[in-house]
Amino acid sequence: MRTSRISRDTSRILVARRTQRTLRQTRSGANIATRNADSVTDGLKREDHAASDSELSSVPADSGSDGEARPLKKRKRGQDTPIIVKNESKEVSIATIDSPKRASKPKKARRAPAKKVTGTDGSVKIEPPANWEEIYALTREMRNENLAPVDTMGCESLAERTRTPRDQRFQTLIALMLSSQTKDTVNAVAMRGMQERMPGGFNLESVLALEPATLNGFINKVGFHNLKTKYIKQTAELLRDKWDSDIPDSIEGLVSLPGVGPKMAFLTMSAAWGRDLGIGVDVHVHRITNLWGWQKSSTPEQTRAALESWLPKDKWHDINNLLVGFGQTICLPVGRKCGECKLADRGLCPSAVVAKGVKREKSTNVKKEESRVKGEVPGSEAVVKREEVVDEIREIKAEDAEAMVADIEDIGKLASGRTPRKKI
């Protein structure tokens, strides 16, 4: 069926009007334009569908009468540009997905020493360092896992239990006097030698009867043995003449003895008399508590006063053994094992230094020696190779490190406090 010319023109006019109306509506906003564009598209689809049903050929709006495509008109300035929303889908490979982050290590603790807090009534109270109880408990846990020389050869355990209480107290005092700048292993051997070989047994009377040279022979392996020989002989005479052949039972009396300082006095009162009158601050207690930031002190006496101001009294006796053993096994004076310390792992030690990727490994060196020996046949020589396997630990031992650190007792001070030479 053929359509008339009038029908075709009418259809063309209707489509052109709808297109112009749609273009005007796009100026009211991007969202309205988008929706109207969809409706126009649907309308065009319906018109095309209706035209196909009526067997009428629709003419596109941008086509001329001759069927050629018309160029799109440029939009004037000031006209709103419709927003075209594009839905893009991106493919993400498994390789590009970030793996879950590892748990970050705890931050290093800040130094938070004990503080003085003044109350409203004018009273002064010492506030303990933060997390000190957790630090103390973890240190005790590490001490229980690692046996230290002080646990088996400490001065408190060297006295003979078969002797009288008076002799035990005297041996404890002598052991502490010998311990200055001396390793526990060396000190224990010297004490055992006197207990086994001293004529009449190891007691005050036997020491008084010994010649200084003989006494020096018993203790010649300990540090400053010549000076200690003189101090022990003088102390024995004072105990006989002034203290009824027993050791003093007060801090004042003990520090009055030659070579006995505050640390020895407090430890002697605790080990010999069972009275905790103060904290025995030795090199390990002084060093480690400053590393923890519990106080900032330059002398052992300052450390003792700072600790006694807030540390519970039931820990005054334990803290010395705790930190001495900790300083012998993990927190060494030289080459601290922060990688094995639970305090460093939990971010509780402000002085922890953990090197990444550094492992202390045990290396085996083979020393080869060649020696030429004469063979059985005259004029012949046989080469004999001998290999010796030597195990080396590439770190300083705890005992050697202790000897490198200056002691804080009076013996060390007097030994280093000799009259200096005059400069010319």
**Predicted model pTM:** 0.60
Reading the block at residue 321, the tokens are 């053994």
| Fold held by 124-345 | Endonuclease III; domain 1 (1.10.340)
For this structure, is 263 an active site residue?
yes
What stretches in the chain show pLDDT beneath 50?
A: 33, 40, 50-52, 54-69, 85-99, 102-103, 357-377, 380-408, 410-420, 422-424
Q: Which of 131, 108, 12, 102 is nearest to 60 (CA)?
A: 12
**pLDDT value of position 348:** 93
Which residue of the set 263, 296, 337, 367 is catalytic?
Answer: 263
**pLDDT value of position 222:** 95
**pLDDT value of position 63:** 45
**pLDDT value of position 109:** 73
Q: What whole-number distance in Å separates Cα of residue 75 and Cα of residue 94?
A: 46
Burial of 382 (0-12, 13-18, 19+ CB in 10 A): exposed
**pLDDT value of position 389:** 34
CB atoms within 10 A of CB 258: 18
Q: Note whether 175 and 159 are within 8 A (CB).
A: yes
**pLDDT value of position 404:** 36
- Encode pLDDT of 121-145 as tens digits: 777 788 899 899 999 999 999 999 9
Domain ranges, ordered by start, for the chain = 5-53, 124-345
End-to-end CA distance of the chain: 136
**pLDDT value of position 78:** 52
